[in-house]
Amino acid sequence: MEPYATADQVWAGALIFARIGAIIMLLPGFGETYVPPRIRLSLAFVLSLALWPLVAGTLPGLPATLGGMFGWILREVITGLMIGFLLRLLMAALSTAGEVVSLQTTLSFAQTANPLQAQPATTIAAFLTLFGVAMIFATNTHHLFIAGLLGSYEVVRPTAPLMIEDFTDVAVRTIGGSFLLGVQLAAPVIVFSLIFNLATGLVGRIMPQFQVFFVSTPLNVLLGLSIFALSLGVIGTVFIDRLRAVAGTFTGGAVG
């Protein structure tokens, strides 16, 4: 390898690839299960080569022992997984919103394969998760992700102590915020369902002989999906704004 790269250069590239590869594995849009592993590895390798001239000076030197090398690489992998995990948590907000909308419109039994989660989910939840990925690339939010790869070396320096306690605190708050965001995104349908069910109950009490469920069920589905379709633009805008706010914390000095 000496004619092509020195040992220190190979070591720096390995450290960068360890962090970038771990982030790409979980990054929304890039780290989905339907993206072939070779594509993700190739992207991580290309990004590592692009970032090497910019961050090589902040990396620790080549350790003298094999254990030291393994420890530094493991530290960078853990750092990358923590950063990617925080961004991945926000994608759960769309899945939560889809499940809530499905429950309110009596479509929770309509299950389908969710390509982003590799497990069955309601049709509306699968649609919203795919919609979220499409919005990420349509609004160029993935550019902010790439800038955040560079900025992560300012926020979490390779030579600084690993911030496990800070990450745990941020992860807990992000999980709570993700669930709250999912409920907020489904709020229009929740309000409609509450009003509609109250009206249905009053009609049932006033006219006991009227087949209220026979008439209300198709109306509930039709009107609920109509309100969901009308609020889809707001759902996408609010989700992207929240995702950009979280990703912006890692840009650091990468963007100005």
Six token digits for residue 253 = 């000095």
The count of other CB atoms within 10 Å of the CB of residue 61 is 10
Local confidence band at 253 (pLDDT 50, 70, 90 cut-offs): very low
Q: What is the pLDDT of residue 255?
A: 40
* Domain count for the chain: 1
Report yes or no on 241 lying in a domain: yes
pLDDT in tens, 67-88: 888 888 998 999 889 888 888 8
Confirm whether 236 is domain-assigned: yes
Over residues 99-123, the mean pLDDT reads: 73
Tell me which residue has tokens 């070779």: 38
Q: What average pLDDT does range 5-28 have in this prediction?
A: 86
Those residues whose C-beta lies under 8 Å from the C-beta of residue 63, and which sit 6 or more positions away, are 69, 71, 72
pLDDT at 60 over 70: yes
Domain range spanning residue 151?
Answer: 7-248
* Nearest-angstrom CA–CA distance, 171 and 182: 16
Is residue 254 in some structural domain?
no
pLDDT tens for 154-182 read 888 888 787 788 888 888 888 888 999 99
> Is 255 inside any structural domain?
no
Q: Is the pLDDT of residue 148 over 80?
A: yes
Separation of alpha carbons 220 and 231, rounded Å: 16
Crossing angle, helix 232-248 and helix 212-230, to 10 degrees?
50
Q: What is the pLDDT of residues 40-58, one digit of tens each?
A: 889 999 998 888 888 888 8
Distance CA 187, CA 176 (A): 17
> Closest Cα partner for 147 from 80, 21, 41, 47?
47
Report the run of H or E that residue 119 belongs to, with start and end. Answer: strand 119-122
Q: Would the pLDDT of 132 be above 80?
A: yes
In-domain check, residue 256: no
Contact call for residues 183 and 92 (beta carbons, < 8 A) = no
Q: Tell me if 55 is assigned to some domain.
A: yes
Of 108, 90, 112, the residue nearest 176 (C-alpha): 90
Residue keyed to tokens 């309110």: 104
Contact 254, 150 (CB under 8 A): yes
Q: pLDDT band at 113, cuts 50/70/90? A: low
| 109 part of a folded domain | yes
Query: What are the tens digits of pLDDT across the range 197-244?
Result: 888 888 878 887 777 777 788 888 889 889 999 999 999 999 999 888
